[in-house]
Amino acid sequence: MSTPLKIAVAGLGTVGAGTLKLLAENADILRMRCGRAIDVVAVSARERGKDRGVDLSGVKWVDDPLALLDCGADVIVELMGGSEGAARALVEGALAKGTHVVSANKALIAHHGLALAKLAEDNHAVLAFEAAVAGGIPIIQSLRDGLGANRFSRIAGILNGTGNYILTTMQKQGRDFDDVLAEAQALGYAEADPSFDVDGIDAAHKLAILTSLAYGVPVDIASVHIEGIRSISAADITHARELGYRIKLLGITEMTSAGVLQRVHPCLVREAAPIAAIDGAFNAIHLEGNAVGRVLLEGAGAGAGPTASSVVADILQIARGAHYYPFTVKSSDMKAVKHAAIADMTSRYYLRLSVKDEPGVLAQITAIFAKAGISVQSLIQHDHTPDTPARIVMTTHDTKESAMQQALQQIASLATVLEAPQMIRMESL
C-alpha cells in the first residue's frame, strides 16, 4: 500500500476550513484518484478554540506557523495571505528544506514569485498556486497543461468577484457605486477597506501571475497599469446599455509589438460578448491561443468550496508525483521582457462630459479632438432642464491613448466643462 501524503495547513479561515472539510468529505474519491491517502498531520491558526465546523481531533496544533516546518509534512499548505511576514517565511522555509508548498496567496506570488520558483527548483520541490488566481477556475493548470501547446496573444479576465458583484448590481438596479458598495460591505461581500477589490489591486496581482505563466517572463506587478471602478456611475451604466455595451472591470495582458502590456481598468464590452454575461461574484477568463483560438473559462472566483477545490487539486497533483516548474518554464530561462506603456496602446473610447448649456461648447470639444487626430464615432445628447448641466456622451474610433489623454486634459480645462471628463476604454472580446 502506498505511503499517505502528509500535509500541514497554515491558516484556518474560510479557505483553510473549506480545504480541511473537502479533504475529509472527499477522502475516498481523492484516494482513488491519486492512489494514496492524504493525511492532515498539523495545523496552525490564530484562534485555537474557534469553531470552524471541521474535526481537528487527532491533528497536531501549533500556534507558530513556522513550527509546521518541523512536523514531518510532505506538503505545507499556506492559506494565511499577505506578501510578507509569516506567510513568506513559512513558504521560503519549506521550499529551502525541499518540502512541497501549495498556496492560495496571490500577493506573495505576485511580489516574490520568481525568487520562490528558483528556491523550489533548486531544492526539487513543487510550488503550486492554482487557488491564487480566479478561485475555482483551473486557469493555471489550463495554461500549463491543457493549453500548453499554444502561443497566447491576449488574456482578458474578470478577476475580482467583489468588483463584478458591484458593477452587476449597479447595472441591474440602476444604483450608484457608493450605495452598492455600502450594501456589499453590510452583507459581507466587500471588506471594510475595499480598496484591494474596487481599486483593481487584487486583479493586478492575479494578472501579473497570468502574464508570467502565459509568456514565460518574470512576474512584474510594478508594470501593471491599474485603475478601479470608483468613478463608474449609474449614468455610465445606463449610457453603456444604450450603446449596446456593459461595463466590466477587466485585467488584460497582451503581447504587442512594443512589448507585454498589462492593464487593469473598467471596459465597455459588447452585450453579445460571452464575458459580458458573467454576473455577480463570478470570474471569467478569455484566452486567445494561436492553435486553439478563443476559449472562455467561467466559475466562482472566491468562497470556501471553489477556492478549496483548487487548493486540493494542487495537493492531488503532488500526491500523484507530478513535478513541474512553477511558472511553466524554468526560472533561469525566464527572460526579462520589455513592458509596453499604456500610453502607446490604441483603443476605442467612451466619454461622458458634463458641460454648460451654451452655444459653441460642442464645437470647442470637437476642435480639440480634431487637432489631436481623434475621430468621433457616435454622440448622444439627452434632454435636460435649465437647472441641470448638459450631458454629452461620445464614442471614438480607434485612437492612441496618449492622444486621448492629452485631449482630455485640454477639455477638462475648458470653462464650459463642469467636472472631470469620464473616460472608459472599449474592448473587443
Summarize pLDDT for 252-297 with one digit per residue, the tens: 999 998 899 999 999 999 999 999 999 998 999 999 999 999 999 9
Q: Of 50, 5, 41, which is closest to residue 20 (Cα–Cα)?
A: 41
CA dist., res. 155 & res. 222, Å (int): 18
Whether 419 maps to a domain, the answer reads yes
Domain CATH number, residue 77: 3.40.50.720
Last residue of a domain, one of 98, 132, 166: 132
CA atoms of 184 and 166, how far apart (whole Å) = 7
Tally Cβ neighbours within 10 Å of residue 412: 12
- Structural domain harbouring 374: 345-426
Is 106 in the active site? no
Residue 313 falls within a domain, yes or no? no
Distance of alpha carbon 171 from alpha carbon 279, whole angstroms: 10
Asked whether residue 107 falls in the same domain as residue 217, the answer is no
pLDDT given at position 383: 67
Q: What is the pLDDT of residue 189?
A: 76
Residue 307 lies in a domain: no
pLDDT of residue 50: 82
Indicate the residue among 132, 152, 180 that finishes a domain: 132
Ranges of the chain with pLDDT below 70: 1, 383-387
Report the pLDDT value the prediction gives residue 384, as an integer from 0 to 100. Answer: 67
Phi, then psi, of 102 in degrees rounded to 5: -120, 130
Verify that 118 and 166 share a domain, yes or no.
no
What local confidence, expressed as pLDDT, does residue 54 receive?
86
State whether 18 and 62 are in the same domain: yes
Q: Which of 50, 206, 248, 356 is catalytic?
A: 206
Residue 168 and residue 250 share a domain: yes
Same structural domain, 101 and 43: yes
How many independent structural domains does the chain possess? 3
C-beta neighbour count of 145 within 10 angstroms: 14
pLDDT in the model for residue 277: 96
Q: How high is the pLDDT of residue 112? A: 96
Shared-domain flag, residues 117 and 20: yes
